[in-house]
Amino acid sequence: MHLGIVSNNHGKVRNVLEEMGIAHFFDPVIISEEAELYKPDAAIMELACERIGTEPSKCIYVGDHPFDILCAHAAHMPVIWLPVNGFMEVPDSIGAPEYTAASLKDAMNYIINENKKG
pTM of the full predicted structure?
0.88
Query: pLDDT tens-digit profile of 74-85?
Result: 999 999 999 988
The reported pLDDT for the residue numbered 88 is 86
Is pLDDT at 116 greater than 90 in this prediction?
no
What distance, in Å, lies between the first and last C-alpha atoms of the chain? 12
| Rounded-to-10 torsion of CA 114, 56, 81, 9 | 140
Query: pLDDT tens-digit profile of 65-113?
Result: 999 999 999 999 999 999 988 788 899 999 999 999 999 999 999 988 8
What's the mean pLDDT when you consider all of the chain? 93
**Percentage above 70 pLDDT, the chain:** 99
- Residue 58 class from Cβ within 10 Å (0-12 exposed, 13-18 middle, 19+ buried)? exposed
